[in-house]
Amino acid sequence: MKIKTFKVERWMNDYEDDAVYNLGETCIDSLTIGELLELGGYSPDEYLKSLKDTRLTYSYIFGSPEFKSGVASLYNNIKPEHVIPTHGATGANAMVLETLIEPGDNMISVMPTYQQHYSIPEAIGAEVRILQLTAENGYLPDIDELRKLVDDNTKMITVNNPNNPTGSWIPEESMKQIAEVAASVDAYLLSDEVYRGISEDGEYMYSVTDLYDKGISVGSMSKIFSLAGLRMGWIATRDEDALNEILERRDYNTISCGVIDDKLASIALANKEKIFARNREILHKNREILDQWVQETPEVHYVRPVAGTTALVYYDADIPSYELCVRLIKEKGLLFTPGEAFEMEGAVRIGYAFDSKLLRQGLDIFAEFLKEIKEK
Ligand SMILES: Cc1ncc(COP(=O)(O)O)c(C=O)c1O
């Protein structure tokens, strides 16, 4: 199966190690093992010593009870048996798409989004219909447009909520309408919810699984739990057919997840409120820093992100985003992600959930750079 280059991942692979100011990062300031254990109330030394007795078997094939109930606790109506552990959200998206989409189907993906959602179906031989998100619409799906895109051969609609790169969040009423459109053609609705869970006001953020029986949620430990190195993710759905088909597929490409990864993820899930409190503070503070900088900088504009960890920032300079980002990393050590990696030219994606000081410094360097190239 031939597949297109995964632009955003290739960009990060090529340049992330060179970054002094890493504003390409999308995880909220990652935790060390020691920090995680301390947050969970363990003595790191004692816990790590006790790990040596862990037998490295395949362990729980379908995930430990602690992991599955921990994931279920992130949802209103998901039970542990509705949860399938995967190798990150990347593994989850791939498994859902490769299991449920077949050659000759059509499916609808929002754009911009995480490239798996359109490039995997395309590689399978499905027809991909794009629902373009625009700044004018606050990067929210146009439901009338969506209605025109579906037909009886539509197998799936896929969204990314909160959205990477724009930081938009689909209001619950709109998601209900999207679910109605999906139901009208009996299609699955896959929602990549890897950035879901830390709201601005601390309230529960709905999931697609709350709204639609054929809703499939994908999540992971990478972003809001700050634990990308665990490579633990999951699929959650109440749809029995999808669960069974995906489990059949999983025997071929996963068997089980890592036993140590599962243990550490379970600790994080059991202590989610503490991790979310830490991370909510980082998000609030850094969103403000970014917003203030955008207001002060006439050379840029954006739609203020309301969720997630990234923003799509448009710049006023006549230079393609890829070239701009290569120059920034090579000349200034500043890492953004080119909008072009999301098929959004004239913009850069800024990941703002990392270190506040580096964020402010990086943004100032970018403002200077834009002034310099304008003066030339
Ligand atoms: C929307 C989205 N989905 C999935 C992933 C993959 O996450 P994971 O680290 O859990 O594989 C990412 C990572 O950037 C993402 O932004």
C-alpha 321/C-alpha 311 separation (Å) is: 15
Distance 194 CA to ligand 1 centre (A): 6
| CB of 127 closer than 8 Å to CB of 98 | no
Which residues does residue 302 pair with via DSSP β-bridges, in sequence order?
313
What pLDDT does residue 201 have? 83
Q: Which residues contact 8 (CB under 8 A, 6 or more apart)?
A: 114, 115, 337, 341, 342
| CB of 223 closer than 8 Å to CB of 231 | no
Strand order in the sheet with 127-132: 83-87, 232-237, 215-220, 188-192, 154-160, 106-111, 127-132
Per-residue confidence in pLDDT tens, the chain, 376 aa? 899 999 999 999 999 999 999 999 999 999 999 999 999 999 999 999 999 999 999 999 999 999 999 999 999 999 999 999 999 999 999 999 999 999 999 999 999 999 999 999 999 999 999 999 999 999 999 999 999 999 999 999 999 999 999 999 999 999 999 999 999 999 999 999 999 999 878 899 999 999 999 999 999 999 999 999 999 999 999 999 999 999 999 999 999 999 999 999 999 999 999 999 999 999 999 999 999 999 999 999 999 999 999 999 999 999 999 999 999 999 999 999 999 999 999 999 999 999 999 999 999 999 999 999 888 7
CB atoms < 10 A from the CB of 240, how many?
Answer: 11
| Residue 40 per-residue DSSP state | T
pLDDT in tens, 32-41: 999 999 999 9
What pLDDT does residue 65 have? 98
Residue 8 CA, closest ligand 1 atom number = 14
C-alpha 229/C-alpha 220 separation (Å) is: 11
Which residues form ligand 1's pocket by a CB distance below 6 Å? 26, 88-90, 114, 160, 164, 192, 194, 220, 222, 228, 233
C-alpha 358/C-alpha 368 separation (Å) is: 15
| CB of 114 closer than 8 Å to CB of 160 | yes
C-alpha 13/C-alpha 211 separation (Å) is: 37
Nearest to 26 by CA among 167, 171, 186, 204: 167
Residue 27 CA, closest ligand 1 atom number = 14
Distance 296 CA to ligand 1 centre (A): 31
Distance 152 CA to ligand 1 centre (A): 30
C-alpha 94/C-alpha 349 separation (Å) is: 23
Distance 90 CA to ligand 1 centre (A): 6
Q: Are strands 106-111 and 127-132 parallel, antiparallel or unpaired?
A: parallel
**Residue percentage of the chain with pLDDT more than 90:** 98
What pLDDT does residue 374 have? 82
What pLDDT does residue 103 have? 98
Write down all domains in the chain, each with its CATH number in brackets.
7-26+274-375 (3.90.1150.10), 55-270 (3.40.640.10)
What pLDDT does residue 109 have? 98
Task: Give the DSSP H/E element, type plus range, for residue 237.
Answer: strand 232-237
CB atoms < 10 A from the CB of 285, how many?
Answer: 14
Residue 163 CA, closest ligand 1 atom number = 1
pTM above 0.85, yes or no: yes
CA 154 vs. chain centroid, Å, equals 24
Q: At what angle do helices 272-296 and 356-375 cross, to 10 degrees?
A: 20
| CB of 204 closer than 8 Å to CB of 8 | no
